[in-house]
Chain A
Amino acid sequence: MMGRTIFIDPGRCIGCQACVSACRECDSHRGKSMIHLDYPDEGHSVASLPTVCMHCEDPVAPCAEVCPADAILVTADGVVQQADTTRCIGCANCVNACPFGVPKIDLQAKLQMKCNLCYDRTAYGLAPMCATVCPTGALFYGTLDELRAERPGVQVADSFTFGTTTVSTGVAMVVPADKVRWPVPGGLPVVEINGRDVR
């Protein structure tokens, strides 16, 4: 886990879309929002899940590994950058290989874009746009100690399982203190789709 990173607490998310709007203001992808806000149980629950790039550490950045053009740079501080505009060929390998469903692609511009932890801000010690505007603290930027100073005893997890593979990430999620379990299920294997058991 990175020293300063984003901590996501879906339990606090009210689905207000403030993060989605703020993300558009990021200088490195002006006008386009890179954060995702999904409703996992739409129609039955108001639960919402914000998704930023998780900055995978092990295996390091699957998006960068599958990139045929060496377009995705992982900087020494562990931030997985968005595609280099001179190299990206718009093949969408990263879009479909990312286990968290993060990268977006502009097929006209032949260019992948993704959350880069607001590198234009975090590189200078500022919090990312999404964490800056989140009214409920569902997106928190800082160190684990800073998070715990605000929320005593909070537990976080930074590994997720996809089938038999565990992915460790730079961004972490808050998990309940009474049932801390690692790794967190990532959704694969899929057991149920639209109420139908697919096992």
Chain B
Amino acid sequence: MTEPPQTAEPSPPSGAAPAPGPAPGVTADGGPSPQAPAAVRRRAVLAGTAVSVLLILAIVFGSRLLRDFDSALLPYAVATVFLAFGVAYRYTVWISAPGARRLFRQGWRSFFSAANFRRAPTALPRMIATYLGFQKFLGARSHARWAAHQLLFWGCLLAAAITFPLTWGWFTFTSATGSGPGYEMRIWGFEIIGFDALGFLGWLMFHGLDIAAVLVIAGAAYFLWRRMKDRGAITGQRFAYDLVPLIALVVISVTGLLLTFSSIFLHGGGYQFLAVLHMVSVVFTLIYIPFGKFFHIVQRPAAVGMQLFKYTSRRTGEGEGEVLVCRRCHEPIDTAPYVANLRGTMRDLDLGFDEWAEYCPRCKRVLRGAAYLDHVKKGFK
């Protein structure tokens, strides 16, 4: 119903209305809205293309004109180029929406402000550590989820730090003696560290991905268990959005560990098949990242931008009443620049009641109740 009924009789509820059920959401995958304006789509394609070209150039030059490029890893490298395109495309569409665009600008304005930096030089690194590194906010939701997410996070980060540069030909391992055990690790051709392949450091270097796989399997197993047992998590759960990412992480980790198992215990038995299985699961996951749950990896830094914006505007206003209070009950709402930013967003969206943002939620309800009491049902009789 989009128009107020003109008669005293409200239109009856549509019998054809779909019954409530765990139906797929209209923005279920969180992917770019199909209604994104053509100009935004063009900008997104441009951004995606530019980032992909930059990555290809970085691969070519970083691998010393492909001299260090490992052609066996070509599918992975191609998948990262698709990933770069997808992330840049989706990111551009995302920050083109009014809410995200305004907060994006304010976040970066706070980030680049020299005055803010002088006033609170440790604010940004502290926020990056708490929000992005140790994710303290997850601990406030649930300690178990925090622990499992930390395992997933550090496992994935370790795996990405090892594999991305390897597939791009940026990391190389060379040995002056041909077959070792002395090895040098090189980045872009420059020697970084020399180590004994049979020593502890060597073991760590060559089993970094196995360690990452164990961390990821532990974290993903907890979340899979939770998705099957926790009734809160199950509410509105969607297979493609909530379960596929966890299954993908487990498949990648298990097939990766099996590669090590094959080379140590099976003398390479089944290695070819496992390598293809592993590659397919990784390529699928990389291409899935921009369009499903994994996009939160790209979005989460917005939390830092938002917090920095609020934090710096609060500090700027010290003693100047910069925290806006509710017009009715005088309880604090948020910083004045934040409320002004929200009102701007609401005006962008043609939500004509932006003035309402200067009242706290409780007063909005009470005032609505009072209006109902006065004008609709006198005395609620």
Contact = CB atoms under 8 A, between A and B. Distances in A.
Contacts of A4: 13, 19-20
B99 A102 contact: no
Contacts of B97: 68, 70
B379 A45 contact: yes
B302 interface: yes
Residue of A76, A81, A164, A165 with most chain B CB atoms under a 10 A cut-off: A76
Nearest to B100: A68
Interface string B357-381: 1011111111111111101110111
B150 to A, nearest CB: 15
Contacts of A70: 27, 30, 94, 97, 100, 299
A175 B376 CA distance: 7
Contacts of A62: 346, 349, 351
Given A38-B365, A70-B94, A144 B137 contact: no
Contacts of B28: 73, 75
Contact of B373 (A45, A85, A182): A45
A185 to B, nearest CB: 4
A76 B376 contact: no
Given A3-B17, A92-B334, A159-B4, A66 B379 contact: no
B368 A165 contact: no
Contacts of B138: 109
A75 B19 CA distance: 12
B12 interface: yes
Interface in A143-199: 143-145, 155-160, 162-166, 168, 172-173, 175-176, 179-190, 193-194
A108 B307 CA distance: 12
B118 interface: no
B367 A190 contact: yes
Given A3-B15, A40-B366, A166-B4, A109 B140 contact: yes
B353 to A, nearest CB: 4
B306 interface: yes
A133 interface: no
B180 interface: no
Contacts of B98: 65-66
B81 to A, nearest CB: 25
Given A99-B356, A144-B10, A40 B377 contact: no
Interface size class on chain A is: 35 or more
A180 B17 contact: no
Interface in B286-317: 293, 296, 299-300, 302-303, 306
A168 to B, nearest CB: 5
Interface string B1-34: 1111100101111110111111111111010000
Interface in B13-68: 13-15, 17-28, 30
Given A38-B366, A40-B366, A101-B365, A176 B345 contact: no
A11 to B, nearest CB: 4
B368 A73 contact: no
Contacts, number: 297
Interface size class on chain B is: 35 or more
A87 B296 contact: yes
B103 A91 contact: yes
B79 interface: no
Contacts of B234: 120
Interface in B101-136: 102-104, 131
B88 to A, nearest CB: 17
Residue of B19, B353, B366, B381 with most chain A CB atoms under a 10 A cut-off: B353
Contacts of A3: 13-15, 17-19
B303 A28 contact: no
A18 interface: no
A143 B14 CA distance: 9
Contacts of B370: 40-41, 187
B376 A99 contact: no
14 contacts: A67-B99, A69-B302, A73-B26, A77-B17, A92-B334, A101-B361, A101-B364, A116-B235, A144-B13, A155-B8, A163-B355, A165-B352, A165-B353, A190-B367
Given A36-B361, A110-B303, 10 more contacts: A11-B380, A41-B370, A45-B373, A49-B365, A58-B2, A76-B23, A89-B306, A119-B236, A162-B352, A187-B367
Interface of A: 1-5, 10-11, 13, 27-30, 36, 38-41, 45, 47, 49, 51, 57-59, 62, 64-70, 73-79, 81, 84-87, 89-93, 95-104, 106, 108-111, 116-117, 119-120, 122-123, 125, 143-145, 155-160, 162-166, 168, 172-173, 175-176, 179-190, 193-194
